[in-house]
């Protein structure tokens, strides 16, 4: 692989949500701060929405690490396509309920007792649900009913939902209006702008051990920004393939030709990138043809 060629200690653009590569970019910084403030205030539901590939899972992992300080007990459900019963079992397991020998009808009471025990120890319980748009409607309602477990002064646990925009559509259903009203804070993760993409690429390269001058030419980074539309996952894919192209040519830096090779090899980005780059040329051609037609019309 190209790591040795470019002086890297590891692959900088792997798709796994490694918090070592978490960058405090504005949109993720704002989302993380909002969740932390909401949790400290005791709000029961927080919602973070973003398109596919915008870094929601990485943000979720970062939040899990940030709450690992003795004050919080965290529960994490990465795949919420569960029945209501499966959701309760998963949550119970995550917060330390002893499930062996426990009868089904005893589960809810066992969860309640465990939450009270943690509250008495001044522990805050936070349930994080990734890919929340995949939750069946009846499971979302079961989650809402679970949050009815509370003391006279506070909720016994809080919920952070991470999901794609389809989550917003799901929660707008009339049947789920009670849960929607409980979401006190929400945030939408935005794609990165060109400058942020450039910063993102540079920072990941540096965290992978690179200490030389810029490995990606500015024009190459701009083309990656256009082709990816600022989606971090696509930035990773295109940057990785661009490095492979440069390595294959024996070049010491990534230029626009390497990026073009990466774009042509990646589904879902070629047409968008091609149309974006050809637009100025198409406009110029249109203006030239229109001017010629007007001139010919006048000459006649």
Residue 294 lies in a domain: no
| CA gap 214, 208 in Å, rounded | 13
How far apart, in Å, are the Cα atoms of 191 and each of 124, 187, 223, 226, 239? 32, 13, 15, 11, 16
Its pTM stands at: 0.84
- Does residue 7 lie in a domain region? no
Strands (E), the chain: 45-50, 72-77, 124-129, 158-163, 183-189
Confidence of residue 217 (pLDDT cuts 50, 70, 90): very high
- Residue among 240, 281, 195, 205 nearest 9 (CA): 205
User: Which residue, among 91, 28, 23, has the nearest Cα to 56 in the 3D structure?
Assistant: 28
pLDDT at 280: 47
Q: Are residues 38 and 182 in the same domain?
A: yes
* pLDDT confidence of residue 198: 96
**Alpha carbon distance 47, 36 (integer Å):** 12
Q: Which domain holds residue 236?
A: 193-200+211-287
* Crossing angle of helices 84-94 and 107-120, rounded to 10°: 30
Question: Domain total for the chain?
Answer: 2
> Does 225 lie in the same domain as 181?
no
| Percent of the chain topping pLDDT 70 | 89
Q: What value does the CA radius of gyration of the chain take, rounded to a whole number of Å?
A: 25
């Amino acid at each position: 692989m190209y790591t040795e060629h470019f002086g890297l200690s590891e692959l900088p653009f792997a798709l796994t949500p490694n918090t070592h590569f978490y960058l405090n970019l504005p949109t993720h910084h704002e989302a993380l701060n909002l969740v932390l403030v909401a949790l400290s205030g005791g709000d029961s539901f927080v919602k973070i929405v973003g398109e596919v590939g915008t870094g929601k899972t990485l943000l979720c992992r970062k939040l899990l690490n940030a709450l690992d300080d003795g004050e919080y007990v965290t529960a994490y459900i990465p795949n919420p396509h569960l029945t209501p019963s499966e959701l309760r079992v998963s949550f119970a397991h995550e917060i330390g309920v002893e499930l062996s020998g426990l009868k089904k009808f005893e589960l809810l009471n066992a969860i309640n007792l465990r939450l009270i025990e943690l509250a008495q120890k001044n522990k805050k319980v936070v349930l994080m649900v990734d890919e929340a748009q995949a939750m069946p409607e009846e499971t979302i309602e079961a989650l809402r009913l679970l949050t009815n477990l509370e003391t006279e002064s506070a909720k016994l646990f809080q919920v952070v939902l991470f999901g794609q925009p389809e989550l917003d559509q799901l929660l707008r259903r009339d049947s789920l209006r009670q849960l929607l009203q409980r979401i006190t804070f929400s945030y939408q993760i935005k794609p990165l702008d060109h400058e942020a993409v450039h910063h993102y690429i540079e920072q990941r390269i540096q965290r992978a051990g690179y200490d030389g001058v810029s490995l990606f030419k500015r024009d190459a980074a701009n083309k990656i920004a256009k082709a990816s539309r600022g989606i971090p996952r696509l930035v990773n894919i295109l940057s990785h393939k661009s490095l492979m192209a440069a390595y294959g040519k024996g070049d010491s830096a990534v230029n626009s030709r390497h990026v073009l090779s990466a774009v042509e090899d990646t589904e879902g980005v070629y047409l968008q990138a091609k149309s974006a780059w050809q637009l100025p040329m198409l406009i110029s051609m249109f203006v030239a043809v229109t001017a010629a037609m007007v001139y010919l019309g006048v000459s006649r």
